Amino acid sequence: MFQRSLPVKSKSPCSVCAKRKVKCDRLVPCGHCKKRGTESLCIQSATRVKGQTSDDNDKGYLTGLLHFWQSYEYWVPNIGLFKTEKLEANNKLVLDVLQKDAEFWEYNLTEEGSNQLLNFTVENLGTLFFGCLGDLSELFKMLEKYHEGLVRTGDKKGSDDCYTKALLWSILAMGIYYAPYELVSNIIDINLVQENTSTSMEEEIQLHIFNGFVSTAIKSLYECNFLAQPDIRFIQSVIIISTTPYPFLKPIIFNGFLVNAIYLTKLLRTGTANQSRSESLIGSIANEALNRLWYRLCSCDYIQSGPNKAVEFHREIGTLLKHAAYLEDLPNTDIFKEEDNFEILMWKILSLDRDLEQYLNNGLKPPPKTLDAVQREAEIYMQKVSALEDDRISINSQFERFLGFFLVNTILWKLQKLQLIFYENVNSLPKIINYTQVVIKLIVNNFEQGRETFNKHPLIIYNLSRFATFLSFYHIFDDSEDTHNIVLDLNELIVNMPPILGVKLVNLKYLIMRFTLLKKMLKKGTVIETNGTYFHPVFKILQNDVTAMSRENSKINVLLAGLGSLIPGRSFGDDLEDDESTEDQLGEEFQLQVSEFEDQYPIREIIYR
């Protein structure tokens, strides 16, 4: 099942392609298996090579497991936890819920309460949306006109009013999500909320209110008729919603809005670029503003990338690594110069993350030159983040510095993870632990200094899940004190993360708990080696996790469901059966341990909870 190393390209076709009698590209996993969701069987086939021996004390299976982690991390913590959505069978029911939520919250949000909430967002969350808007004072005028119109005309509004409403409710939803509960309870009548939900916990009440507010914003976007009557407020609304957990909670709906927002931004940028060339001041200013929107959208586009999002625009911006060596040799160039704006700085940092994430789930080994270039660029951007305005009074400047430091340290962490996996660098694990400690300290400092708001940003839980799951996975096979202690520290941190993070936080805890139980299972049994291949029920469970998540995200059967008789004799949905594999021949006890664990702790809980 697992060997010392996982080949980039197999010497023979995988067992899945051989059985189906189709041409195999012999990559690991191969292209056919990626499309069919049978990566684990393909990897298993590639690693089942005869004639290899190993020292049991050397834990020869660990290298193969670490290579396998690249697929596991892609499908489970990344796609399964954050980018897979449980679909409702009745679309009308979904629209009805949006309508009821919007009516309830519009009726119960007072003008005074909305002004308090808008004040909070302007004073504390500027980092998240100032670059998307122009004159902030216009927001308060828009809010005033909105309430006047709501009283006079109710829902009988034109497209312009719908765009204003969508933008305002996007900002208000963001405010509700990040605001302290004390402020939320002053703005909203909590008794009304408790009548509509069974919970009495403050964080769950606040999460319920946020869901209502963001549903109102989404319903307003639907009402804008944005395909026929596009408007820049549509783009602004999508960007603001992206600063909340909504893209991870409803990835399919949000990705549809995101693709339309990016297309509209490209259309607008083309038009304003022509004006700026003609030395029009208005055109030049508009072009600069749209560039900010474009970088924000590309950042979001990259974060949302996955099998459920086939259209990707962020790749239109090339990697920084192509220019790194050139800039270093260029005379009189300060490579530590501060970026023009925070949006560009954030994109450049995330583009380095993209340079590393491309090696998830594709079986390719990152070249040392690439890793060295990322290391060099990450160190440069660490300096650039340090050079950001350090205003202890400004919440916005503190928020920017926190996000910058968090993301750069995340990149350095991922860099060492690749060094450990592909180059077995003995110094990488201590560095991984060190960067984990730095990130933990950043988050804990926010708690200690009254900046819990920063820890609610969706990128924090999204990246923290990578730290926690990898080290929990590694801890299954490594009993060192350092690994044990860092896992304990991460578990303590995750337990204390803001509960308003909701189901994603709950599911992350569930994943970590499963790794703890798998560690106990590994200790109860013995890893069996057969012809250079290692077997244990834990390995099979991990492989099944990947298979389950990849199949869950395979849309080919849904897309082809309407073909009917166009493909005679073809039954979609029935061709993803498991091949017979060696571990099935190891006895009933092996299969029983696997099935009992999966029945009690199903991986699909992270989708269907």
CA neighbor of 381 nearest in space, from 419, 350, 418 = 350
What stretches of 97-156 adopt beta strand conformation (E)?
A: none
Q: Which residues 6+ apart lie within 8 Å of 431 measured at CB?
A: 412, 416
Q: Which residues 6+ apart lie within 8 Å of 416 measured at CB?
A: 425, 428, 429, 431, 432, 435
* Chain CA centroid to CA 392, Å: 30
Backbone angles phi, psi at 7, to 5 degrees: -65, 145
The first and second tokens of residue 426, run together, are: 């003995």
Q: Looking at residue 103, what is its pLDDT?
A: 84
Q: Looking at residue 57, what is its pLDDT?
A: 39
Q: Looking at residue 45, what is its pLDDT?
A: 63
430: how many CB neighbours lie within 10 A of its CB?
A: 11
User: pTM score, two decimals?
Assistant: 0.85
144: how many CB neighbours lie within 10 A of its CB?
A: 13
The first and second tokens of residue 362, run together, are: 């594709």
Average pLDDT for runs of 10 along the chain of length 609: 51 79 80 73 57 45 89 96 78 66 85 94 93 86 86 61 93 96 91 74 88 92 85 95 96 94 86 53 65 93 92 89 54 52 92 95 89 95 87 83 97 97 92 98 96 96 98 95 97 95 95 97 83 84 93 68 54 44 69 94 89
* Chain CA centroid to CA 416, Å: 20
The answer to whether residues 537 and 590 touch, using CB atoms and an 8 Å cutoff, is: yes
The first and second tokens of residue 304, run together, are: 């949302």
CA neighbor of 531 nearest in space, from 39, 16, 1 = 1
113: how many CB neighbours lie within 10 A of its CB?
A: 17
291 vs 282, 297, 347, 477, CA distance in Å?
Answer: 14, 10, 12, 47
CA neighbor of 217 nearest in space, from 199, 192, 234, 198 = 234
